[in-house]
Amino acid sequence: MNIFDVITTIILLYGLINGFIKGFVVEVAILSNQFVNPFVPWTASHYALVLSSIIHGIVYATYVWLVTRVGVVFSAQVSYFVTLAGVLWSMIILDEVHSKFIWMSLICMILGMTLVKPRSH
């Protein structure tokens, strides 16, 4: 089996899995009445979905740029900031109260992040 056969097999498997997942997600969205039909007069939810998609694209492109700029290890710290932001947003939006163990773990997480330095060029 040469490299061309391996690449072709990987591409075909990726296409099959990707198609199955997308088809499954669309079916679940329709059956659960959460499908957003783009062919009706647009409401605030349509615009919110488009704006959210644009923001997601910009953030993801920025993350890819960050990986190429400072390296994988340093840019992986983004996941810790996402966790911290999730905890803070849950307190603001959902009025959640967290135990002392959550706060101690967040402090340990932040202290651990200070140990990671970006790669030198």
Any domain includes 45: no
pLDDT at 1: 66
Q: In terms of residue numbers, what domain contains 9? A: 1-35
Any domain includes 14: yes
pLDDT at 101: 93
User: What CA–CA distance (Å, rounded) separates 35 from 67?
Assistant: 34
pLDDT at 48: 92
The pTM (predicted TM-score) of the whole model is 0.54
Q: How confident is the model over 77-105, as pLDDT tens digits? A: 888 888 888 889 999 999 999 899 988 99
**CB under 8 Å to 28, separation ≥6 — which residues?**
none
Any domain includes 43: no
Any domain includes 85: no
Q: Which residues does the chain have with pLDDT short of 70?
A: 1, 117-121
Any domain includes 7: yes
Any domain includes 93: no
pLDDT at 119: 61
Any domain includes 69: no
Q: What angle do CA 12, 17, 22 make, to 5 degrees?
A: 125
Q: How many structural domains are present in the chain?
A: 1
Any domain includes 47: no
